[in-house]
Amino acid sequence: MRGTDGTEGETAGSQRVMRALLVAGLLALGLYLLSGFLRALIWAVVLAIALWPLFARACRRFPPGRHNILWPAVFTGLVALVLLLPIAVLAVEAAREAHDLLAYAREAERTGIPVPDFVAHLPYGAAAVTTWWNANLAHAGFAHELTERLNTASNRDLTRTLGVGLVHRVVLFGFCLLTLFFLFREGDTVIAQALRASQRLFGAHGERVARQMVASVHGTVDGLVLVGIGEGFLLGIVYAFAAVPHPVLFGAITAVAAMIPFGAPLAFGIAAVLLLAGGAVVPAVIVVAAGLVVTFVADHFVRPALIGGTTRLPFLWVLLGILGGVETFGLLGLFVGPAVMAALILLWRELTEGPKEPARPFSA
């Protein structure tokens, strides 16, 4: 009997090892097959996590029908609208300015572009900039010469590559929206399955890590996206009063740039340069001063309170997670980086202080 029991134990152990190898192999194969769509999938998950409290509140207030299509379609459509609206605004602005731009381009081709007045007032390098400008832009026919320089086979290949890349990104965007729709539709089932799997694999410890990462995404959305929109709105008002060209467009650009650490100064710096080019020195100074004040308050007070307060994560680690995430994953790293850092800090605290249950992030 002992021999039989030992043989059965060895067989069960071998089967467990083979099952683990099979699961690992299938998981690796699945990740390989989906490698081209992983970013779109992760974006869909991040958006679903960020919007889930609002979605759950809407479903409780107005319960969906049996097929649960209306609210997922509404929220997915709103996400598409928010993401596509800036592109539409840029297209409309470009169409409005197309006639004037073409007229300016024809005149510049005929007579050249004279050196702007502000170049002479540059504190350093005014002579070098003037010499380069006169040699390359101030004479007639410079656009034709530039076109001949750029009309090479390599640049044509680059154009084709950019076209293919644009089509690929459009497909990924559509796939992201489709995934987001099904995450909204089957969200309760997905959450229950994820928590059950985490409980079986890692116990309560794994569930706490998962909840901490979700809470980090919520805090990052509040601290980066919402605060960035607020910065863009406030500075857009300043742009309007300072007579910056296209203040609404510059406000939208500032809002997007403000979502990335240290990105807002680049936006309002360009606005100030445009004012300086037109000789408006005082409005340019006002734009820079207002931009520095708004970004200082947002980066040193509002964002640390929103992001760090949600996850008990020190702002230094928030900043490192954001910058490291952006460097590694691009724009997606804005949300992935802080989530990873939040999980690591939680593991460290549980190792040194003992486990503490964070606030449940799935509630509205």
- Give Rg (Cα) of the chain: 27
Mutual orientation of helices 38-61 and 187-202 as an angle, nearest 10°? 120
User: Quick one: tokens of 349?
Assistant: 């605290």
**Residue 334: which domain range?**
201-364
Tens digit of pLDDT for each residue in 268-279?
888 888 888 777
| Percent of the chain clearing pLDDT 90 (strictly above) | 6
- Rounded CA separation 257/268 (Å): 10
Residue that terminates a domain, selected from 160, 185, 210: 185
* Nearest Cα to Cα of residue 175 among 45, 349, 275: 45
Say if 143 falls within a structural domain. yes
Residue that terminates a domain, selected from 151, 185, 219: 185
Question: 216 and 175, same structural domain?
Answer: no
pLDDT at 77: 92
- Rounded CA separation 239/266 (Å): 14
* Domains identified in the chain, total number: 2
Question: 285 and 231, same structural domain?
Answer: yes
* Nearest Cα to Cα of residue 169 among 84, 249, 242, 240: 84
Please answer whether residues 173 and 40 qualify as being in contact, where contact means their C-beta atoms are separated by less than 8 angstroms.
Answer: yes
Give the number of residues written for the chain. Answer: 364
Please answer whether residues 279 and 117 qualify as being in contact, where contact means their C-beta atoms are separated by less than 8 angstroms.
Answer: yes
Inter-CA distances, 321 with 77, 227, 291, 313, 336, Å: 30, 18, 25, 10, 8
Give pLDDT < 70 ranges for the chain: 1-10, 90, 93-113, 115, 117-126, 133-163, 308-313, 354-364
C-alpha atoms less than 13 angstroms from C-alpha of 354 in its C-beta half-sphere:
0
Question: 129 and 223, same structural domain?
Answer: no
Residue that terminates a domain, selected from 185, 209, 244: 185
Tens digit of pLDDT for each residue in 330-351?
778 878 888 888 788 877 877 7
Question: 180 and 43, same structural domain?
Answer: yes
CA angle 113, 114, 115 (to 5 degrees): 120
pTM score, whole prediction: 0.69
340: left (phi over 0), alpha (psi -120 to 50) or beta: alpha
Tens digit of pLDDT for each residue in 247-293?
887 888 888 888 877 788 888 888 888 888 777 888 888 999 999 99
Say if 21 falls within a structural domain. no
Question: 256 and 125, same structural domain?
Answer: no
Question: 319 and 218, same structural domain?
Answer: yes
- Rounded CA separation 300/98 (Å): 41
- Rounded CA separation 288/279 (Å): 15
What is the SS3 assignment for 63?
A: coil
Question: 361 and 225, same structural domain?
Answer: yes
